[in-house]
Structure 1
């Protein structure tokens, strides 16, 4: 008898909106243009003016409200643990190893992009003007500086904002899978878009980041989010040993 073989369907990238790579190219061009402008000393006055305004308008109730909302961007003890827990819940519900793959992909993508960019651009945070190393504002705002390694030399781009775009996008996908598609469109949009917007405002207001740090992170984070969304997580080939845990979770009903 002739042995029949199973032909695996070609793995294709998932669609994103707006469709095509032109939007990714536009975002990367904007990120590069903003970085070049800062390297040439442009937009420093804008960053300094926004920072000065924030320092001059920080009553205790508003300040502590911003601090609380800023916790939405804590990756180590909030975003990654929540994403991991949701991925495990979806994996158990769907009987699939694929949800943790999404979380691992987000972690690797962030680790390989945001951190190295911070080290390369070597920009101090606004708070470095009032804390050690007590830099003059016109020096702290510079990019591609020659600062010693430390917490105040990794400001550009904002990790809070970029991480929020990526991780809350992951959380939204996992929530849809966990609720079997019953998550309302309003709740989905709130999960995806509200935290990054809140973090852009709070990190700037609290002088954790310059305004342009957050704007750069918005563009970079959207590119990373679109890359993750393109990956066909449900169709990636897995070893035969995992055939019993090989079910889809994004496209599953």
Structure 2
């Protein structure tokens, strides 16, 4: 099978360039202390003054939807295992491994590099600044990036199992919820979440482009019939035995 990149929407590389440029511009704007920092502070002060106890408790539960290592990675691995058994191919795990590797080499290093404190920090006089405190790990929001990448993985694995509307909800609802909860709870600055959306969409498009069905898996899996296609097969709903 030829290794040809899969199409994405919007098509072409121009949108990837927009996402990357937006992330760089946003980061530089924060480094140069643009008015965006004032917006971050204003949003932080507003939500801190308008967060009743019941809302804090409820949204902390919803915020767990973005925990990568504790929730999303294990969930994606379980779904990949079920799809592997159902379609008799190990290729669903390739997407999970790819997502794990891509988020591992981007989110953590960026957080360590930018050194931004959380919006909830009240001890430092300027927690909103980038490259300010060695213990800062706020920028970009890992929960939001994880939500975009991992719920995109789940949507790709479950396409055809659920109706298209449900798949779209899986892909897009969680990131929006996480953007709101992390900002409203002052776990992150507003711009942490906006930067995470730009980065998450870029990573998601990279994963969508890779032709996972064309990745060579070796003769042993081929001979055992565990290396067949998964992502280019007919939708599950079109297979009588799975209706």
Q: What TM-score results when the alignment is normalised by the length of structure 1? A: 0.89
Shift of 1:158: 0.3
Query: In 1, Cα distance between the equivalents of 2:206 and 2:2?
Result: 19
Query: In 1, Cα distance between the equivalents of 2:146 and 2:64?
Result: 12
Query: In 2, Cα distance between the equivalents of 1:251 and 1:86?
Result: 18
1:230 aligns with: 209
1:167 aligns with: 150
2:31 aligns with: 39
1:109 aligns with: 102
Query: In 1, Cα distance between the equivalents of 2:54 and 2:24?
Result: 37
For 1:149-228, what aligned pairs fall within 5 Å after superposition? 149=135, 153-176=136-159, 181-228=160-207
Query: In 1, Cα distance between the equivalents of 2:7 and 2:69?
Result: 30
Tell me the number of residue pairs that the alignment of Structure 1 and Structure 2 aligns: 231
Q: Is residue 2:36 matched to residue 1:49? A: no
2:51 aligns with: 58
Candidates 123, 127, 132, aligned match of 1:140:
127
Q: What TM-score results when the alignment is normalised by the length of structure 2? A: 0.93
1:15 aligns with: 7
CA-to-partner distance for each residue in 1:35-89, whole Å, 9 max, x for gaps? 0000000111000000000100011122212111111111122101110000011
Structure 1, gaps ≥5 residues long: 1-8
Shift of 1:182: 4.0
Q: Give the structure with higher Rg (CA).
A: 1
1:30 aligns with: 22
Shift of 1:221: 0.1
Shift of 1:148: 3.3
What is the RMSD computed on CA atoms of the aligned residues? Answer: 0.9
Structure 2, gaps ≥5 residues long: 235-243
